[in-house]
Structure 1
């Protein structure tokens, strides 16, 4: 339990998690770990904190695949396309995502950019910033202030990190989807 508390505290600090209401505190009570100081109506936030170690595992697993080449339609370590990569990472933890970035844009629920958390899917328009169709997906790995870092399989570099604040991604940004609730139900 102490390890879980330390990991939670470390991740909360390193991801710059802040809440307008109150700062959650982790307390150890016998054999359970509880998150206090979070109003009852924010049950999703409570369950997010309970999922932090599992979200960290998914992100850690994704990081193990950095530099694997891009492959159209790819779903294995021999090469991934963007949705094949996010699908592969979540499937390893028992969560089934569709193999299409547009279809992954319908999984979970939408969250505002300001509410983004590690583990969320980040969706973009395809090659044309003028279109409206989702054509690319990645997984958020870090949120510090208003900077969102994500891992994805890009056609020009394979599995790599990028930041939402880069002009290319800002122009193509569509939405963020919270799928970490699916981790809790596994």
Structure 2
């Protein structure tokens, strides 16, 4: 975000002060480097930054409205929609959406699909977005009807690992 702002400011300032059609090569190189740095940034980072602004919004069954709350898939679809990415509105639809990813290869911004609260019923019932990866520890952001009762960050702990079904990339 800071680099984008810097690039925009630099571009506006530079081109508003240049009187001739000739742009010095050192400025062209700097502009190209800034553009490349921004485009290579992990696309999931902005997605998660936006998602984190909603931490604490309460859980609300069948809702994708931040003014009243989110259910899990409502939260995930709302976050992706903000970036122009089409995502399912139902957690069960994530099983057949996106590109499958092995859990050991997930990236920030990938979607984790879980069973509902009964892990013995192997049917999708909950989703969250990978928010951080530190070594073997994965943290995801989701709207939970459990103890947190709303949008929260959770570590992929043994409880969620037992419910894990699939990871998919929507990016």
TM-score, length-scaled by structure 2: 0.75
Counting helix residues as a fraction of each chain, which structure ranks higher? Answer: 2
Q: Tell me, which stretches of 5 or more residues in structure 1 are unaligned?
A: 5-28, 36-48, 181-186
Equivalents in 2 of 1:3, 1:109: separation in Å? 29
Give yes or no for the alignment of 1:162 onto 2:151: no
Give yes or no for the alignment of 1:73 onto 2:62: yes
Pair member with larger Rg: 2
Equivalents in 2 of 1:50, 1:122: separation in Å? 24
1:169-180 matched pairs, under 5 angstroms: 169-180=160-171
User: Deviations for 1:45-75, whole angstroms, at most 9, x for unmatched residues?
Assistant: xxxx8351x3211111100000110010010
Equivalents in 1 of 2:114, 2:60: separation in Å? 18
2:141 to 146, 151, 170: 151
Q: CA deviation at 1:168?
A: 1.4
Give yes or no for the alignment of 1:121 onto 2:111: yes
Aligned CA RMSD, in angstroms, stands at 2.0
Give yes or no for the alignment of 1:106 onto 2:106: no
User: Deviations for 1:27-56, whole angstroms, at most 9, x for unmatched residues?
Assistant: xx9315669xxxxxxxxxxxxx8351x321
Q: Tell me, which stretches of 5 or more residues in structure 2 are unaligned?
A: 5-27
SS across alignment from 1:135: strand
Structure 1 residue ranges, 4+ long, deviating more than 6 angstroms after superposition: none
- Structure 2 CA distance for partners of 1:61 and 1:130, relative to 1, 3 Å: same
Decide whether the 8 Å contact of 2:87 with 2:170 is kept in 1.
no
TM-score, length-scaled by structure 1: 0.70
